[in-house]
Structure 1
Amino acid sequence: MKFIPLYDTIVVIKIENDNKIGEIYVPTNENNIIKGKIIETGVGTLLKNGEIFPLIVKINDIILFKDSYNVEKYKVDNIEYYFIKEKDIISIIK
Protein backbone atom coordinates (compact mmCIF):
# COMPACT_ATOMS: atom_id res chain seq x y z
CA MET A 1 0.00 0.00 0.00
CA LYS A 2 1.33 3.44 -0.95
CA PHE A 3 0.49 6.52 1.12
CA ILE A 4 0.89 10.10 -0.08
CA PRO A 5 0.88 12.20 3.11
CA LEU A 6 -0.04 15.87 2.95
CA TYR A 7 2.17 18.72 4.18
CA ASP A 8 3.91 17.82 7.48
CA THR A 9 2.35 14.38 7.93
CA ILE A 10 4.79 11.48 8.25
CA VAL A 11 3.96 7.77 7.84
CA VAL A 12 5.88 5.45 10.18
CA ILE A 13 5.94 1.71 10.78
CA LYS A 14 6.86 0.35 14.19
CA ILE A 15 10.14 -1.48 14.57
CA GLU A 16 9.88 -4.39 16.98
CA ASN A 17 13.09 -4.89 18.93
CA ASP A 18 14.51 -5.46 22.37
CA ASN A 19 13.92 -1.77 23.30
CA LYS A 20 17.68 -1.13 23.36
CA ILE A 21 19.42 1.59 21.36
CA GLY A 22 23.16 1.13 21.56
CA GLU A 23 23.82 0.83 25.28
CA ILE A 24 20.65 2.73 26.30
CA TYR A 25 17.41 0.97 27.21
CA VAL A 26 14.27 2.79 26.09
CA PRO A 27 11.35 2.37 28.47
CA THR A 28 8.27 0.87 26.84
CA ASN A 29 5.77 0.82 29.68
CA GLU A 30 4.05 4.01 30.82
CA ASN A 31 6.02 6.34 28.51
CA ASN A 32 4.67 4.70 25.32
CA ILE A 33 7.82 5.56 23.35
CA ILE A 34 7.92 3.80 19.97
CA LYS A 35 10.87 3.16 17.66
CA GLY A 36 9.84 3.40 14.03
CA LYS A 37 10.98 3.73 10.45
CA ILE A 38 9.72 6.54 8.23
CA ILE A 39 8.24 5.15 5.02
CA GLU A 40 6.65 8.31 3.58
CA THR A 41 6.75 12.05 4.25
CA GLY A 42 4.79 15.06 3.14
CA VAL A 43 6.46 18.06 1.52
CA GLY A 44 6.74 20.20 4.65
CA THR A 45 4.98 22.54 7.04
CA LEU A 46 2.64 25.09 5.47
CA LEU A 47 3.48 28.51 6.89
CA LYS A 48 1.01 31.38 7.35
CA ASN A 49 2.53 33.26 4.39
CA GLY A 50 1.81 30.28 2.10
CA GLU A 51 5.39 29.05 1.85
CA ILE A 52 6.34 25.47 2.67
CA PHE A 53 9.11 24.83 5.21
CA PRO A 54 10.78 21.47 4.37
CA LEU A 55 10.84 18.63 6.89
CA ILE A 56 14.05 17.68 8.70
CA VAL A 57 13.30 13.94 8.64
CA LYS A 58 13.57 11.81 5.53
CA ILE A 59 12.31 8.45 4.28
CA ASN A 60 14.13 5.51 5.94
CA ASP A 61 15.11 7.56 9.02
CA ILE A 62 14.76 5.61 12.27
CA ILE A 63 12.99 7.71 14.91
CA LEU A 64 11.58 7.68 18.42
CA PHE A 65 8.12 9.12 18.98
CA LYS A 66 5.54 8.99 21.72
CA ASP A 67 2.26 7.17 21.11
CA SER A 68 -0.22 9.85 22.17
CA TYR A 69 -3.63 11.23 21.26
CA ASN A 70 -2.03 13.14 18.32
CA VAL A 71 -1.01 9.90 16.60
CA GLU A 72 -3.42 8.36 14.10
CA LYS A 73 -3.14 4.61 13.43
CA TYR A 74 -4.21 2.50 10.49
CA LYS A 75 -3.77 -1.29 10.31
CA VAL A 76 -3.57 -3.27 7.05
CA ASP A 77 -2.41 -6.89 6.67
CA ASN A 78 -1.10 -7.00 10.27
CA ILE A 79 1.06 -3.89 9.68
CA GLU A 80 0.20 -0.90 11.83
CA TYR A 81 0.93 2.46 10.22
CA TYR A 82 1.34 5.56 12.38
CA PHE A 83 0.52 9.01 10.98
CA ILE A 84 2.41 11.63 12.97
CA LYS A 85 3.61 15.21 12.67
CA GLU A 86 7.30 16.13 12.75
CA LYS A 87 6.78 18.01 16.03
CA ASP A 88 5.77 14.68 17.67
CA ILE A 89 9.18 13.11 16.95
CA ILE A 90 11.46 12.88 19.98
CA SER A 91 14.67 11.95 18.17
CA ILE A 92 16.25 10.67 14.96
CA ILE A 93 18.50 7.66 15.58
CA LYS A 94 21.74 7.50 13.60
Structure 2
Amino acid sequence: MNFLPLYDKIVVIKLDEDNKIGNIYIPKNENNILKGKIFKIGCGKLLENGEIKPLIVNIGDIIIFKDNYNIEKYKVNNTEYFFLKEIDIISIIK
Protein backbone atom coordinates (compact mmCIF):
# COMPACT_ATOMS: atom_id res chain seq x y z
CA MET A 1 0.00 0.00 0.00
CA ASN A 2 1.39 3.39 -0.96
CA PHE A 3 0.32 6.40 1.10
CA LEU A 4 1.34 10.04 0.69
CA PRO A 5 0.51 11.77 3.98
CA LEU A 6 -0.04 15.52 3.84
CA TYR A 7 1.69 18.08 6.05
CA ASP A 8 1.93 16.85 9.67
CA LYS A 9 0.18 13.53 9.12
CA ILE A 10 2.07 10.33 9.95
CA VAL A 11 1.27 6.77 8.84
CA VAL A 12 2.12 4.17 11.50
CA ILE A 13 2.01 0.39 11.27
CA LYS A 14 0.86 -1.18 14.51
CA LEU A 15 3.44 -3.63 15.80
CA ASP A 16 2.38 -6.90 17.34
CA GLU A 17 3.89 -6.45 20.72
CA ASP A 18 4.75 -8.57 23.67
CA ASN A 19 3.71 -5.56 25.77
CA LYS A 20 7.34 -4.83 26.58
CA ILE A 21 9.64 -1.94 25.66
CA GLY A 22 13.19 -2.79 26.65
CA ASN A 23 12.88 -3.92 30.26
CA ILE A 24 9.65 -2.00 30.85
CA TYR A 25 6.25 -3.66 30.61
CA ILE A 26 3.34 -1.56 29.38
CA PRO A 27 0.17 -2.57 31.23
CA LYS A 28 -2.80 -3.37 29.04
CA ASN A 29 -5.62 -1.21 30.28
CA GLU A 30 -8.25 1.27 29.18
CA ASN A 31 -5.57 3.76 28.07
CA ASN A 32 -5.05 1.85 24.79
CA ILE A 33 -1.33 2.61 24.48
CA LEU A 34 0.06 1.06 21.29
CA LYS A 35 3.50 0.49 19.82
CA GLY A 36 4.10 1.20 16.15
CA LYS A 37 6.65 1.82 13.43
CA ILE A 38 6.52 4.97 11.34
CA PHE A 39 5.85 3.98 7.73
CA LYS A 40 5.43 7.37 6.03
CA ILE A 41 5.53 11.02 7.12
CA GLY A 42 4.29 14.27 5.64
CA CYS A 43 6.49 17.27 4.84
CA GLY A 44 5.84 19.04 8.16
CA LYS A 45 3.44 21.19 10.13
CA LEU A 46 1.98 24.15 8.24
CA LEU A 47 2.41 27.27 10.39
CA GLU A 48 0.13 30.30 10.37
CA ASN A 49 2.75 32.36 8.51
CA GLY A 50 2.77 29.81 5.68
CA GLU A 51 6.10 28.22 6.57
CA ILE A 52 6.46 24.47 7.07
CA LYS A 53 8.11 23.20 10.27
CA PRO A 54 9.79 19.79 9.70
CA LEU A 55 8.64 16.87 11.84
CA ILE A 56 10.84 15.49 14.63
CA VAL A 57 10.07 11.86 13.82
CA ASN A 58 11.53 9.92 10.91
CA ILE A 59 10.48 6.94 8.82
CA GLY A 60 11.41 3.75 10.67
CA ASP A 61 11.16 5.23 14.19
CA ILE A 62 9.46 3.00 16.75
CA ILE A 63 6.93 4.98 18.78
CA ILE A 64 4.25 4.58 21.40
CA PHE A 65 0.97 6.40 21.02
CA LYS A 66 -2.50 6.39 22.48
CA ASP A 67 -5.29 5.00 20.31
CA ASN A 68 -8.04 7.59 20.69
CA TYR A 69 -11.03 9.02 18.86
CA ASN A 70 -9.12 11.37 16.52
CA ILE A 71 -6.84 8.67 15.05
CA GLU A 72 -8.02 7.16 11.77
CA LYS A 73 -7.38 3.46 11.09
CA TYR A 74 -7.18 1.46 7.90
CA LYS A 75 -6.61 -2.30 7.64
CA VAL A 76 -5.21 -4.07 4.56
CA ASN A 77 -4.18 -7.76 4.45
CA ASN A 78 -3.95 -8.06 8.26
CA THR A 79 -1.75 -4.94 8.50
CA GLU A 80 -3.31 -2.15 10.52
CA TYR A 81 -2.33 1.42 9.56
CA PHE A 82 -2.90 4.36 11.88
CA PHE A 83 -3.04 7.96 10.63
CA LEU A 84 -2.03 10.40 13.35
CA LYS A 85 -0.31 13.71 13.93
CA GLU A 86 3.03 14.18 15.63
CA ILE A 87 1.26 15.66 18.65
CA ASP A 88 -0.47 12.29 19.21
CA ILE A 89 2.88 10.52 19.77
CA ILE A 90 3.78 9.86 23.41
CA SER A 91 7.41 8.84 22.88
CA ILE A 92 10.01 7.72 20.36
CA ILE A 93 11.72 4.50 21.47
CA LYS A 94 15.51 4.53 21.02
Aligned-pair CA distance for 1:27: 1.8
Q: Indicate the RMSD between aligned Cα atoms, in angstroms.
A: 0.6
Q: Which consecutive aligned stretches of 4+ in structure 1 deviate over 6 angstroms post-superposition?
A: none
Superposition TM-score, scaled by structure 1 size: 0.97
Identity %: 71
Counterpart of 2:80 in structure 1 is 80
Deviates more, 1:55-64 or 1:26-35: 26-35
Q: Secondary structure at the match of 2:5?
A: coil
The separation in 1 between residues aligned to 2:28 and 2:82, in whole angstroms, is: 17
Structure 1 unmatched ranges of 5 or more? none
TM-score, normalised on structure 2?
A: 0.97
In structure 2, the gaps of 5 or more residues are: none
Distance in 1 (alpha carbons) for counterparts of 2:72 and 2:81: 8
User: Per the alignment, in what secondary structure is the counterpart of residue 60 of structure 1?
Assistant: coil
How far apart are residue 78 of structure 1 and its match? 1.4
1:93 maps to a residue whose letter is I
Alignment of 1:7-18 (within 5 A): 7-18=7-18
Please name the residue that 1:70 is paired with.
70
Alignment-derived partner of residue 53 in structure 1: 53
Take 1:84 and 1:28, find their aligned partners in 2: how far apart are those partners?
21
Alpha-carbon contact 1:28-1:34 (below 8 Å) kept: no
**How many residues end up aligned between the 2 structures?**
94
Kindly provide the amino acid, as one letter, of the partner of residue 40 in structure 2: E
- Give yes or no for the alignment of 1:6 onto 2:6: yes
Q: Equivalents in 2 of 1:82, 1:28: separation in Å?
A: 19
Cα distance in 1 between the residues matched to 2:92 and 2:73? 20
- Equivalents in 2 of 1:82, 1:43: separation in Å? 17
